[in-house]
């Protein structure tokens, strides 16, 4: 990384001016405000990320998908590799029409930055590969880990776009604070995801046939033994070309079963945080549901076992006439970016949208139910089974009309088929 001593010196100067010292390592250096200031003082931190791994003598490592596959980087001169680290366009092996949601088509370049109180954030692009950490890494012992999900897509305007990336940054920063990790500065987060998209542009599927799913991770990777925050952190953004989340296909309704024994989150817990630790506990119930032929599980509130919370991997909505309802954000439900966007889109289309507790009994009587999330987009719910009773919504195998309308409204906006009066679509490149 090219941010040299002068950057660090600038940071120290900046931080010592506003030293709000606490026991947290990043706060010792003046908190987020100071990190933002640092980024302004040190544009090299973000402008020349690839130089971090380059030897000084004007030779850089340039990675092609073939060499990456062989895990052996080829060497070439700087003039051969005029741009920062960039994946080759060798995606001929990918059948864009049969993309699922998995790691089969992981993009070859990832972004990685590390944080310590002494050096701030340092990082850049590098080949997708293992993260080195000690067995004593905090994340492996005590689980300091939050993640995000985002999608880059080719739009009707011939460019690659992201959808509301700042919202994901805000959510990761909130999650970081909840788990006592240093919130990555907004600029760093946005640069991390946009540079990962640009570098892997060839892995963004053709329009309408999938997307490049981005998985930002923030991990406490520094070593520790007693319970406490890590002394060092890693921000990673890796990516994969993906299609539908549920195996049955994007518009095929899914079957859900209400989970009656376990809860996903409790008041005062961290259900509203996109923490890795929220996702493994749901596997037991999800896998059991899948064995019985359901696609996923819907959870009820931990206090009364009465109200819908969310599905393992996404938020949930009900539709009754022109009223759309979704559970309110009171700390136990993930504040989905797609959820928030659908609320605003539906209101703009004249629907009444209520963020209210939804008794499972009411959901069983609704006209339609759908789920939302970055990975699932909008997914029709074909049935919910609760206490042995199965309620079928709409026509078998087809999405109901409001669900379909909301799916089309969202995806048309995301793919720039429709105007974007909200300013949610962020162009990344015409590449
Ligand atoms: C997403 O929707 O992007 C998520 O991160 C959910 C995950 C379970 C796939």
Reference 254, options 409, 415, 373, 103; nearest CA is 373
Could you say which of 86, 274, 290, 303 is catalytic?
274
- Which atom of ligand 1 lies closest to the CA of 148? 5
Collect all residues with Cβ–Cβ distance below 8 Å to 229 and sequence separation of at least 6. Answer: 24, 25, 138, 144, 180, 181, 220
Residue extents of the structural domains in the chain: 34-243, 254-414
Q: How far is CA 315 from CA 118, 279, 380, in A?
A: 39, 14, 12
| pLDDT for the residue 84 | 62
Distance of CA 123 from the midpoint of ligand 1 (Å): 25
| pLDDT for the residue 74 | 34
What letter would DSSP give residue 137?
B
- How many CB atoms are located within 10 Å of the residue 284 CB? 13
In 3-state terms the chain splits into helix, strand, coil percentages (rounded to 5) of 30, 25, 45
- Are the C-beta atoms of 46 and 26 separated by less than 8 Å? no
- Are the C-beta atoms of 252 and 400 separated by less than 8 Å? no
Query: Tell me: the pLDDT tens digits for 87-98?
Result: 777 888 999 999
Residue 86 bears catalytic tag: no
| pLDDT for the residue 92 | 85
Query: Tell me: the pLDDT tens digits for 165-214?
Result: 999 999 999 999 999 999 999 999 999 999 999 999 999 999 999 999 99
Gap between the Cα atoms of 163 and 390, Å rounded: 36
Distance of CA 271 from the midpoint of ligand 1 (Å): 14
Gap between the Cα atoms of 70 and 108, Å rounded: 12
Distance of CA 188 from the midpoint of ligand 1 (Å): 22
Reference 239, options 91, 71, 397; nearest CA is 91
346-362 exposure pattern, b = at least 16 Cβ within 10 A, e = fewer: beeeebebebebbebeb
Strand, coil or helix: what is 319? strand
The architecture of the domain spanning 254-414 is Alpha-Beta Barrel (3.20)
Q: Is the CB of 315 under 6 A from ligand 1?
A: no
Gap between the Cα atoms of 17 and 119, Å rounded: 17
- Which atom of ligand 1 lies closest to the CA of 213? 3
Collect all residues with Cβ–Cβ distance below 8 Å to 309 and sequence separation of at least 6. Answer: 263, 264, 265, 271, 298, 299, 300, 301, 316, 327, 332, 333
| pLDDT for the residue 359 | 98
Distance of CA 171 from the midpoint of ligand 1 (Å): 13
Pocket test for ligand 1, best of 193, 315, 373 (most atoms within 8 A of CB): 373
Distance of CA 377 from the midpoint of ligand 1 (Å): 10
- Are the C-beta atoms of 48 and 37 separated by less than 8 Å? no
- Are the C-beta atoms of 66 and 88 separated by less than 8 Å? yes
Q: Is the CB of 375 under 6 A from ligand 1?
A: yes
Which stretches of 117-270 are assigned E, i.e. beta strand?
120-127, 145-147, 150-154, 160-163, 211-220, 233-242, 254-258
- Are the C-beta atoms of 316 and 384 separated by less than 8 Å? no
Q: Is the CB of 373 under 6 A from ligand 1?
A: yes
Distance of CA 338 from the midpoint of ligand 1 (Å): 11
Between helix 5-17 and helix 31-41 the angle, nearest 10°, is 140
Token pair for 224:
């520790």
Gap between the Cα atoms of 33 and 356, Å rounded: 35
Distance of CA 429 from the midpoint of ligand 1 (Å): 24
Reference 404, options 252, 218, 279; nearest CA is 252
Gap between the Cα atoms of 175 and 173, Å rounded: 5
Pocket test for ligand 1, best of 313, 342, 377 (most atoms within 8 A of CB): 313
| pLDDT for the residue 86 | 79
Gap between the Cα atoms of 169 and 153, Å rounded: 18
Listed as ranges, residues in the chain with pLDDT below 50 are 1-83
- Are the C-beta atoms of 121 and 235 separated by less than 8 Å? yes
Q: Is the CB of 374 under 6 A from ligand 1?
A: yes
Which stretches of 84-232 are assigned E, i.e. beta strand?
109-116, 120-127, 145-147, 150-154, 160-163, 211-220
Q: Is the CB of 243 under 6 A from ligand 1?
A: no
Q: Is the CB of 211 under 6 A from ligand 1?
A: no
- Residue whose CA lies nearest to ligand 1 atom number 5: 149
Q: Is the CB of 184 under 6 A from ligand 1?
A: no
Pocket test for ligand 1, best of 212, 314, 410 (most atoms within 8 A of CB): 314
β-pair type (296-300, 254-258): parallel
- Residue whose CA lies nearest to ligand 1 atom number 8: 313
Sign of the C-alpha dihedral, residues 74, 125, 211, 81?
negative
Q: Which fold has domain 34-243?
A: D-amino Acid Aminotransferase; Chain A, domain 1 (3.30.470)
Reference 29, options 124, 127, 149, 115; nearest CA is 115
Distance of CA 372 from the midpoint of ligand 1 (Å): 10
- Which atom of ligand 1 lies closest to the CA of 376? 2
Pocket test for ligand 1, best of 216, 374, 377 (most atoms within 8 A of CB): 374
């Amino acid at each position: 990384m090219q941010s040299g001593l002068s950057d660090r010196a600038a940071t120290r100067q900046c931080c010592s001016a506003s030293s709000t010292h606490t026991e947290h390592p990043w706060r010792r250096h003046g908190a987020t405000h100071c990190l933002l200031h640092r980024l302004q003082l040190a544009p090299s931190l973000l402008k020349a990320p690839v130089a971090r791994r380059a030897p000084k003598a004007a030779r850089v490592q340039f990675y092609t998908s073939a060499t990456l596959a062989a895990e052996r980087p080829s060497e070439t001169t700087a003039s051969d590799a005029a741009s920062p680290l960039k994946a080759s366009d060798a995606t001929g092996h990918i059948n864009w029409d049969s993309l699922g949601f998995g790691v089969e088509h992981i993009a070859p370049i990832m972004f990685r930055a590390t944080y310590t109180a002494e050096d701030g954030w340092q990082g850049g692009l590098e080949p997708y590969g293992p993260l080195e950490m000690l067995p004593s890494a905090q994340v492996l012992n005590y689980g300091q880990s939050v993640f995000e999900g985002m999608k880059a897509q080719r739009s009707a305007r011939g460019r690659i776009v992201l959808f509301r990336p700042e919202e994901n940054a805000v959510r990761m920063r909130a999650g970081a604070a909840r788990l006592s990790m240093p919130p990555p500065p907004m600029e760093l987060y946005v640069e991390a995801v946009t540079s990962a998209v640009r570098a892997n542009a060839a892995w963004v599927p053709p329009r309408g046939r999938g997307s490049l799913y981005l998985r930002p991770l923030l991990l406490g990777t520094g070593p520790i033994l007693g319970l406490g925050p890590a002394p060092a952190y890693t921000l990673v953004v890796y990516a994969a070309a993906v299609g539908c989340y549920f195996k049955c296909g994007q518009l095929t309704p899914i079957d859900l079963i209400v989970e009656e024994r376990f809860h996903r989150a409790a008041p005062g817990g961290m259900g509203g945080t996109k923490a890795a630790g929220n996702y493994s506990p749901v596997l037991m119930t999800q896998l059991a549901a899948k064995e019985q032929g359901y696609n996923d599980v819907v959870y009820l509130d931990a206090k009364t076992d009465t109200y819908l919370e969310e599905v393992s991997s996404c938020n949930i909505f009900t539709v009754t006439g022109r009223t759309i309802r979704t559970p309110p954000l009171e700390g136990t439900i993930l504040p989905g970016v797609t959820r928030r966007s659908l609320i605003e889109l539906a209101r703009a289309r004249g629907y009444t949208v209520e963020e209210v507790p939804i008794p499972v009994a009411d959901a069983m009587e609704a006209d339609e139910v759908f789920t939302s999330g970055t990975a699932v987009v909008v997914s029709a719910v074909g049935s919910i089974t609760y206490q042995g009773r199965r309620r079928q919504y709409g026509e078998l195998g087809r999405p109901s009309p409001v669900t379909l309308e909301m799916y089309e409204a969202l995806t048309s906006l995301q793919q720039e088929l429709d105007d974007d009066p909200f300013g949610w679509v962020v162009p990344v490149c015409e590449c």
